[in-house]
Amino acid sequence: MDMRVNIAGVEWKNPVTVASGTFGSGEEFSEFVDLNKLGAVTTKGVANVPWPGNPTPRVAEVYGGMMNAIGLQNPGIDLFCKRDIPYLKNYDTRIIVNVCGHAPEEYLEVVERLADEPIDMMEINISCPNVNAGFLAFGQDAKHVEELTGQIKKIAKQPIIMKLTPNVTDITEIAKAAEAGGADAVSLINTLTGMKIDINRKTFAVANKTGGVSGPIVKPIAVRMVYQVAQAVNIPIIGMGGISCAEDAIEFLLAGASAVSVGTANFHNPAVTMEVIDGIEAYMKKNGFESVKDMVGIVK
């Protein structure tokens, strides 16, 4: 059984990574899972300087999922390069660094800083719904996405994954813009903007008022979007949105994702990624697939 996949020239030992923000930089989860077994670790978003994030409460449970408005709290790129990258280098897995910012200059500063670091790929978060400064609008506008992708590609030394928001009318337009800008891959979906009211406290369940909805409840939307984007672009797709078992992951692969990320499910079971990897292998055996690559996008 060949579990390997190739994403924009980078070979992963299997198609499973984790969704940015759900796994830190891996250290806390290393007590529960063998990071060597993951196809890649995708880190929590890092910015040019430390960000304090949003006020609490930052999370709320919703039926079949959760809502978060962490606000991209992160230690900043300097400490990240000194601490988190060396930590991950202890493991035999691919390192994907998620990059966030408020404005193009901030993204570019981080991308430039990472250019000579020993990481395998970068994922550009142009879609977090929880920070101000018209940030989400950025990932919702095809022209801006193409422009930023182009600017990043000029200075990046690693393959670039553009992470797309589902909070748009037509996600294929944004995916095509990323491809036109030179993106090496796209990942989708980020969280869906939602709201929950706490009827006992008579206020918003998260302090930010709105938050990003994730978990099993968003999966059908995510599968649909991955399928649509797979028909629209020729670059690889990393699919995510509510994956909590191997069967979920296989849906994404069949719909056109070359790899998958497990996110919210890590909070329900810190070792879920191992079960997803084993389950994909078992499915392949049962269904006569020699290679993961043979499964990708076969449902048309």
Partner 1 sequence: MTTKKKEQAKVVSQEQLADGIFSMWIQTEAAGSARPGQFISMYTNDGSKLLPRPISICEIDKEGGKLRVVYRVTGEKTGTEEFSQMKAGDTIPVIGPLGNGFPFEKAEGKKVFLMGGGIGVPPILELAKQMECEKKQIVVGYRDAHTFLKEEFEQAGELYISTEDGSVGTKGNVMDAIRENALEADMIYACGPTPMLRAIKQYAEANGIECYISLEERMACGIGACLACVCKSKEKDAHSNVHNKRICKDGPVFLSTEVEI
Q: Provide the annotated active-site residues.
A: 128
Nearest CB to partner 1, comparing residues 53 and 297 = 53
User: Does residue 215 belong to the site contacting partner 1 (CB under 8 A)?
Assistant: yes
Q: Counting beta carbons within 10 angstroms of the beta carbon of residue 200, is it exposed (0 to 12), middle (13 to 18) or buried (19 or more)? A: exposed
201 lines the binding site for partner 1 (CB under 8 A):
no
Answer whether 140's CB lies under 8 Å from 101's CB.
no
Q: Is residue 10 within 8 Å of 51, Cβ to Cβ?
A: no
Sign of the dihedral defined by the CA atoms of residues 104, 223, 231, 16, in that order: positive
Q: Which of 5, 7, 10, 33 binds partner 1 (CB under 8 A)?
A: 33
In angstroms, what is the minimal distance from the CB of 189 to partner 1?
Answer: 18
Number of residues that bind partner 1 (CB under 8 A): 43
Q: Is residue 63 part of the contact set for partner 1 (CB under 8 A)?
A: yes
Q: Which DSSP state fits 39?
A: S
269 binds partner 1 per the rule CB under 8 A: yes
Give yes or no for residue 57 binding partner 1 (CB under 8 A). yes
Of 4, 8, 13, 24, the residue at the interface with partner 1 (CB under 8 A) is 24
Under rule CB under 8 A, residue 70 binds partner 1: yes
In 3D space, the residue among 287, 212, 213, 214 whose CA is nearest the CA of residue 246 turns out to be 287
Task: Tell me the C-alpha to C-alpha distance, in Å, between residue 152 and each of 158, 229, 235, 242, 277.
Answer: 10, 22, 17, 29, 32
**137 in Cβ contact with 170 (< 8 Å):** no
Does residue 158 belong to the site contacting partner 1 (CB under 8 A)?
A: no
Binding test (CB under 8 A) with partner 1, winner from 32, 220, 247, 285: 32
Task: Summarize as ranges the residues that interact with partner 1 (CB under 8 A).
Answer: 21-24, 28-34, 44, 50-53, 56-61, 63-66, 68, 70, 73, 75-76, 79, 200, 215-216, 264-271
